[in-house]
């Protein structure tokens, strides 16, 4: 099944344009920018979108553009932003103001009949040739010098497998620059030794800083499939051949080392890849110390133990090859990498500085450490963040850190055993820092040991909880209070982090552990090493978190899941300002970006509302192609209430079953039903199965259920599609926030009716959610940065009491409550947006719960008011009972059937 298709304009665009003009009753004659790269006749809303984006890019600053899913948003972004890019480069060249942009003028005869930007594209191709030649020249000048052979020799000479080589694992003496200011005899910390990296950070170097491509557009989205879809749209335009494009992905998606890839898990793949480089890097460094003739320079990649990254020359050829071809997505890059037997992950990273358009996942762009490691410079460039509907939460979750009790124990025992072996060989500096690490870990373990004993209320947790939100055990605290309570506030964490980073202690300690395990012929050694590295990484991530500003987040200590400490970032303003301050323009695009004000307050509160540029367009479907109804009553007259306290009642589940039995008899082809959670879906499915309702439904349509495991989703969707195409019809029981609710295209018969069961509010028993709600409630208040604005009515929600969580929500005055409702409605909008995918599509949308049907004018905040405009404007509030719903649906599908057959 295709993933996240954009509007299919090729389906008679003239006809669709006519519909749009008829619908608004006027032919638009306003003089607007031409977007010659747009491959079809654009709909008027697409023209409006492109014009707005072009204007916003000209002006710079922060802008938000909203265009419903299925309206060709990606294509509009491509044609507007890239034309702006080319125009801007052209202007600079014309004014002779930038040497960067020579790329668009030199060489070639110009065809005067073509617009400037088309002519420029031709020249860019010439530039590709120049780059190729330069590369060839560079290759000739810097022949590969056989590093692989010398590395192997060194491997053979470096101690063998039958003993622990002290020199290999012993730390070199360490003193921080501060400590060593009075003594020049001791070794300074190695620069770029690369012993430490946080989980959001790599530390590889690139040596291709010679090709800065000038003005760039960075386009990012959340998932790899969304990025691939974007490249697919890009390929429909002339830009695919004529500007330099690079797609950056994760190792999980781009690694071609089968041994590493089979580790399966993202974290383990990252660890293994980096470890392959670290090990060899440290060996190379040792060779230097031993006077071995290793070719100089920082050639980490060429000395890598991964065979796909040994030859720099192949990496250069990969780069030259990609520059010659049209835009490629991740799969294409992987294919080329396999053919050339060189790593596409690192190969594509080398291309970024020279690219005009860099396509990358959120994480790579929004995390400062990732940007730095990738060498991405936002200065005066354009950043487009697509699918930005949850940007604030996504950004914050990237900066969370979590370490479990077993990970801390793992790190502690590894360091202790290392210290036991090397104590006499280590200098005073190393011993001091290692002891400090042990003290710190023991302190962190203390409250966890207590909570994991489930002694939540009586035991000595080691925390002074007078300043926490819970007397003991599971609790949340500000950073300073946490450190103070554990008596570790006197430890200089910044210095300790610098030591961990520069001394390479993580790899020394885990490498030693691995060697010992191997000598003991432990078959699990390889896995242990990777998990040790993960434990070290989680620990160091937590140290980084503890150095954040006190008011930026909260520390949560929980006894659940074996015990863990988590840092929850609460404010994204500072993080986002790093992007905004650098870039010329930051564009947030999405299907639904409401509520704008909440996003502004959370991400760029410094920006006055009137300086935020906003554009929103309606859907390309005519109103008669959607039938949104709020369904308040079931066929037997029972009122629908799927709130937490009522949804499990037999009567409620039975009534929903009756509704579904009725729908499957009336709705053609596919029906998708969204539940708030897998647990509730299971509960309903079991009840329907026991009561015989499921059998009734299955007489009309095949029933499919969204699997919990992502790997099984594709097979289920394939069967679902086959059942529909065979004429049998199908119903899919899916879950809000699951795979089906995001990123999958359910166009046409795949979904003729989408049913949203209840309001999928997140569980108020979630301590992290409550911390965010408290923080947001306090936004705008003068003292909010230092303390939560709420006085909790009851702390018992920390042990998972939902009702107490609701109590907290009731204490909120405005923003906190709004945020909670927004979370729910964003999830609803994301799910129901699956149904209408192009202008000729049609679908019914049923919002099943009496709370959707309440009169919105009677409440200041109402769930339905947060629906997308194109649904909200046509929503039918069915308050007269199910008869109305049945009649409306019957008419709708009858009418669509007539249209189809005529």
Sheet with strand 843-848: strands edge to edge: 702-705, 730-735, 670-675, 753-757, 843-848, 626-631, 876-878
Q: CB 141 → ligand SF4: shortest distance, Å?
A: 25
Q: Please identify, using beta-carbon distances, which residue of 38 and 346 lies nearer to ligand SF4.
A: 346
**Cα–Cα distance for residue pair 689/651, rounded to 1 Å:** 15
- Select 86 or 255, whichever has its Cβ closest to ligand SF4: 255
Residue closer to ligand SF4 by CB (options 237, 315) is: 315
Nearer to ligand SF4, 259 or 873 (CB): 259
305 vs 869 by CB, closer to ligand SF4: 305
Q: Does 684 bind ligand SF4 (CB under 6 A)?
A: no
**Spatial CA neighbour of 251 closest among 233, 213, 221, 277:** 277
Judged on CB neighbours under 10 Å (0-12, 13-18, 19+), 53 is buried
The span of 83-91, 320-328, 342-350, 681-689 binding ligand SF4 (CB under 6 A) equals: 342-350
CB of 536 to ligand SF4, least distance (A): 19
86/273 with CB nearer ligand SF4:
273
Minimum CB–partner distance for residue 221 and ligand SF4 (Å): 22
Closest approach of ligand SF4 to the CB of residue 270, in Å: 9
3-state per-residue secondary structure call for 246-312: EECCCHHHHCCCHHHHCCCCHHHHHHHHHHHHHHHHHHHHHHHHHCCCCCCCCCCHHHCCCHHHCCH
730 binds ligand SF4 (CB under 6 A): no
Q: Does 273 bind ligand SF4 (CB under 6 A)?
A: yes
Q: Are 618 and 869 in contact, with CB atoms under 8 Å apart?
A: yes
Stretch that binds ligand SF4, among 224-232, 252-260, 468-476, 601-609 (CB under 6 A): 252-260
* SS3 at position 521: coil
Told to check if 256 binds ligand SF4 by CB under 6 A, we report yes
Q: Exposure of 390 by Cβ count < 10 A (0-12 exposed, 13-18 middle, 19+ buried)?
A: middle
Q: Which of 239, 243, 241 is nearest to 213 (CA)?
A: 243
Please check whether residue 760 is in contact with residue 699, taking contact to mean a CB–CB distance below 8 angstroms: no
Residue 796's Cβ-side half-sphere holds a number of Cα atoms within 13 Å equal to 7
Q: Which is nearer to ligand SF4, 349 or 774 (CB)?
A: 349
> C-beta of 333: minimal distance to ligand SF4 in Å?
12
3-state per-residue secondary structure call for 577-636: HHHHHHCCEEEEEECCCCCHHHHHHHHCCCCCHHHCEEEECCCCCCHHHEEEEEECECCC
Distance CA 787, CA 554 (A): 10
Query: What's the min distance (Å) between Cβ of 255 and ligand SF4?
Result: 3
Q: Which helix (H) or strand (E) holds 843?
A: strand 843-848
Comparing C-alpha atoms, which of 272, 345, 287, 343 is closest to residue 310?
343
The count of residues interacting with ligand SF4 (CB under 6 A) is 13
Q: Which is nearer to ligand SF4, 345 or 892 (CB)?
A: 345
- CA dist., res. 690 & res. 694, Å (int): 8
CB of 269 to ligand SF4, least distance (A): 7
CB of 318 to ligand SF4, least distance (A): 11
Q: Does 151 interact with ligand SF4 (rule: CB under 6 A)?
A: no
Q: Which is nearer to ligand SF4, 373 or 430 (CB)?
A: 373
Q: Which candidate, 901, 30, 179, places its Cα nearest to that of 492?
A: 179
Which residue in 119, 135, 244, 251 binds ligand SF4 (CB under 6 A)?
A: 251
Residue with smaller CB distance to ligand SF4, 334 or 767: 334
Q: Which stretch binds ligand SF4 (CB under 6 A): 16-24, 255-263, 360-368, 754-762?
A: 255-263
Residues 205-234 that bind ligand SF4 (CB under 6 A): none
Given the complex with ligand SF4, which of 276 and 809 has the nearer CB atom? Answer: 276
Measured distance CA(720)–CA(414) in Å, rounded: 50
Give the binding range for ligand SF4 (CB under 6 A) out of 251-259, 440-448, 671-679, 846-854.
251-259
Q: Which tokens go with 621?
A: 């479907």
The reply on whether position 343 binds ligand SF4 by CB under 6 A is: yes
Cα 378 to chain center, whole Å? Answer: 19
Q: Is the dihedral of CA 779, 783, 785, 786 positive or negative?
A: negative
In the complex, what is the shortest distance from the CB of residue 256 to ligand SF4, in angstroms, rounded to a whole number? 5
Q: Given the complex with ligand SF4, which of 255 and 483 has the nearer CB atom?
A: 255
On whether the CB atoms of residues 821 and 778 are closer than 8 A, the answer is no
Give the residue from 679, 361, 714, 407 showing the smallest Cα distance to 535: 407
Residue 703 forms beta bridges with which residues? 731
Strands 61-66 and 585-590: parallel
Nearer to ligand SF4, 333 or 845 (CB): 333
CA atoms of 901 and 898, how far apart (whole Å): 5
Task: Report the residue from 7, 65, 171, 255 that binds ligand SF4 according to the rule CB under 6 A.
Answer: 255
- 3-state SS assignment for residue 201: coil
User: Could you tell me the smallest distance in angstroms from the CB atom of residue 261 to ligand SF4?
Assistant: 7
Residue 475 near residue 557, CB atoms below 8 Å: yes
SS3 of 6, please? coil
x/- site string to ligand SF4, residues 570 to 609, per CB under 6 A? Answer: ----------------------------------------
The C-alpha atoms of residue 850 and residue 50 are separated, in whole angstroms, by: 39
Contacts to ligand SF4 from residues 70-129, by CB under 6 A: none
Structure tokens of 219? 């386009």
Question: Which residue number, 308 or 717, has a Cβ lying nearer to ligand SF4?
Answer: 308
Stretch that binds ligand SF4, among 154-162, 248-256, 374-382, 519-527 (CB under 6 A): 248-256
Q: Which of 54, 218, 318, 345 binds ligand SF4 (CB under 6 A)?
A: 345
Pick 231 or 260: Cβ nearer ligand SF4:
260
Q: Which lies closer to ligand SF4 via its Cβ, residue 251 or residue 602?
A: 251
For residues 214 and 358, give the distance between their C-alpha atoms in angstroms, rounded to a whole number.
Answer: 12
User: Could you tell me which stretch among 189-197, 249-257, 486-494, 590-598 binds ligand SF4 (CB under 6 A)?
Assistant: 249-257
Tokens matching residue 805? 């969580």
Q: Of residues 82, 131, 246, 260, which one binds ligand SF4 by CB under 6 A?
A: 260
Stretch 350-409 residues interacting with ligand SF4 (CB under 6 A): none
Q: How far is the CB of 161 from ligand SF4 (least distance, A)?
A: 22
Does the protein bind ligand SF4 through residue 257 (CB under 6 A)?
yes
Q: Which of residues 275-294 bind ligand SF4 (CB under 6 A)?
A: 276
Minimum gap (Å) between residue 338 Cβ and ligand SF4 = 10
Name the residue nearer to ligand SF4 (CB basis): 345 or 675. 345
Q: Which is nearer to ligand SF4, 142 or 341 (CB)?
A: 341
Q: How far is the CB of 283 from ligand SF4 (least distance, A)?
A: 16
Alpha helices, H only, 648-760: 650-666, 678-691, 693-700, 713-725
**Which residues does 152 contact at the CB level (< 8 Å), separation at least 6?**
none
Is 340 among the residues that bind ligand SF4 (CB under 6 A)?
no
Scanning residues 293 to 322, which ones bind ligand SF4 (CB under 6 A)?
A: 306, 308-309
Binding site for ligand SF4 (CB under 6 A): 251, 255-257, 260, 273, 276, 306, 308-309, 343, 345-346
């Amino acid at each position: 099944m295709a993933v996240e298709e954009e509007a299919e304009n090729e389906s008679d665009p003239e006809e669709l344009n006519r519909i749009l003009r008829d619908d608004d009753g006027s032919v638009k004659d306003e003089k607007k920018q031409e977007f010659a790269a747009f491959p079809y006749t654009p709909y008027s809303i697409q023209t409006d979108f492109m014009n707005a984006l072009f204007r916003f890019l000209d002006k710079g600053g922060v802008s938000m553009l909203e265009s419903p899913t299925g309206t060709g948003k990606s294509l509009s972004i491509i044609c507007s932003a890239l034309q702006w890019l080319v125009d801007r480069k052209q202007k600079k060249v014309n004014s002779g103001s930038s040497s960067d942009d020579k790329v668009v003028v030199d060489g070639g005869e110009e065809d005067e009949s073509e617009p400037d930007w088309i002519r420029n594209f031709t020249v860019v191709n010439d530039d590709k040739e120049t780059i190729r030649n330069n590369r060839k020249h560079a290759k000739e000048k810097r022949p590969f010098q056989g590093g692989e052979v010398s590395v192997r020799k060194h491997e053979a000479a470096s101690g063998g497998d039958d003993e622990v080589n002290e020199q290999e694992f012993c730390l070199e003496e360490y003193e921080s620059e501060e400590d060593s200011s009075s003594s020049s005899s001791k070794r300074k910390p190695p620069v770029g030794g690369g012993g430490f990296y946080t989980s959001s950070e790599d530390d590889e170097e690139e040596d291709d800083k010679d090709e800065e491509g000038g003005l760039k557009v960075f386009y990012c989205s959340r998932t790899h499939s969304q990025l691939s879809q974007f490249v697919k749209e890009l390929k429909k335009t002339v830009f695919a051949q004529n500007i330099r494009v690079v797609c950056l992905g994760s190792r999980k998606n781009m690694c071609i080392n089968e041994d590493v890839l089979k580790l399966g898990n993202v974290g383990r793949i990252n660890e293994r890849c980096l470890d392959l480089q670290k090990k060899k890097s440290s060996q190379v460094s040792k060779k230097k110390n031993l006077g071995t003739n290793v070719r100089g320079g920082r050639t980490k990649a060429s000395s890598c133990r991964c065979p796909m990254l040994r030859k720099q020359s192949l990496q250069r050829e990969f780069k030259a090859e990609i520059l010659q071809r049209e835009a490629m997505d991740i799969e294409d890059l992987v294919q080329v990498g396999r053919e050339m037997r060189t790593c596409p992950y690192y190969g594509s990273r080398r291309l970024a500085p020279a690219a005009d358009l860099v396509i990358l996942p959120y994480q790579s762009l929004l995390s400062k450490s990732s940007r730095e490691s990738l060498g991405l410079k936002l200065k005066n460039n354009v950043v487009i963040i697509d699918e930005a509907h949850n940007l604030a939460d996504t950004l914050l979750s990237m900066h969370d850190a979590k370490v479990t009790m077993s990970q801390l124990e793992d790190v502690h025992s590894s360091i202790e055993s290392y210290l036991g072996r090397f104590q006499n060989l280590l200098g005073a500096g190393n011993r001091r820092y290692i002891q400090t690490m042990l003290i710190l870990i023991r302190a962190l373990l203390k409250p966890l040991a207590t909570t994991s004993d489930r002694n939540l209320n009586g035991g000595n947790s080691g925390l002074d909880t007078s300043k926490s939100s819970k007397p003991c055990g599971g609790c949340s605290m500000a950073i300073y209070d946490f450190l103070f309570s554990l008596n570790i506030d006197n430890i200089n964490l910044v210095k300790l982090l610098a030591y961990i980073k520069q001394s390479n202690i993580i790899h020394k300690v885990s490498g030693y552990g691995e060697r010992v395990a191997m000598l003991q012929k432990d078959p699990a050694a390889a896995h242990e090493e990777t998990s040790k590295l993960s434990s070290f990484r989680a620990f160091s991530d937590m140290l980084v978190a503890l150095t954040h500003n006190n008011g930026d987040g909260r520390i949560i200590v929980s006894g659940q899941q074996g015990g863990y400490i988590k840092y929850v970032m609460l404010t994204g303003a500072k993080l986002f300002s790093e992007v905004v301050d650098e870039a010329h323009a930051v564009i947030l695009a999405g299907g639904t970006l409401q509520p704008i004000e909440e996003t502004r307050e959370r991400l760029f509160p410094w920006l006055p509302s009137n300086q935020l540029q906003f554009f929103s367009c309606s859907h390309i479907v005519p109103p008669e192609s959607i039938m949104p109804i709020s369904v308040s009553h079931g066929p037997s007259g029972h009122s629908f209430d799927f709130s937490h306290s009522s949804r499990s009642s037999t009567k409620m589940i039975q009534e929903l079953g009756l509704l579904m039995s009725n729908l499957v008899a009336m709705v053609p082809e596919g029906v998708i039903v969204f539940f708030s959670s897998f647990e509730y879906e299971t509960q309903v499915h079991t009840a329907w199965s026991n009561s015989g309702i499921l059998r009734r439904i299955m007489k009309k349509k095949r029933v499919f259920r969204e699997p919990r495991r992502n790997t099984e989703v594709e097979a289920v969707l394939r069967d679902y599609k086959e059942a529909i195409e065979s004429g049998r019809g199908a119903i899919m029981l899916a879950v809000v926030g699951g795979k089906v609710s995001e990123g999958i295209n359910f166009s046409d018969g795949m979904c003729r009716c989408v049913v949203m069961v209840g309001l999928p509010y997140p569980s108020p028993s979630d301590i992290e959610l409550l911390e965010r709600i408290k923080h947001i409630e306090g936004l705008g208040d003068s003292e909010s940065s230092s303390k939560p604005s709420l006085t909790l009515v009851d702390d018992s929600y920390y042990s998972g009491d939902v009702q107490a969580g609701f109590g907290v929500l009731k204490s909120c005055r405005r923003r906190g409550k709004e945020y909670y409702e927004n979370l729910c409605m964003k999830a609803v909008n994301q799910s129901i947006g699956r149904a209408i995918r192009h202008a000729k599509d049609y679908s019914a949308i049923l919002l099943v719960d009496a709370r959707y049907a309440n009169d919105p004018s009677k409440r200041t905040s109402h769930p339905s008011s947060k629906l997308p405009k194109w649904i909200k404007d046509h929503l039918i509030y069915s308050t007269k009972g199910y008869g109305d719903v049945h009649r409306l649906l019957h008419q709708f599908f009858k009418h669509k059937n007539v249209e189809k057959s005529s």
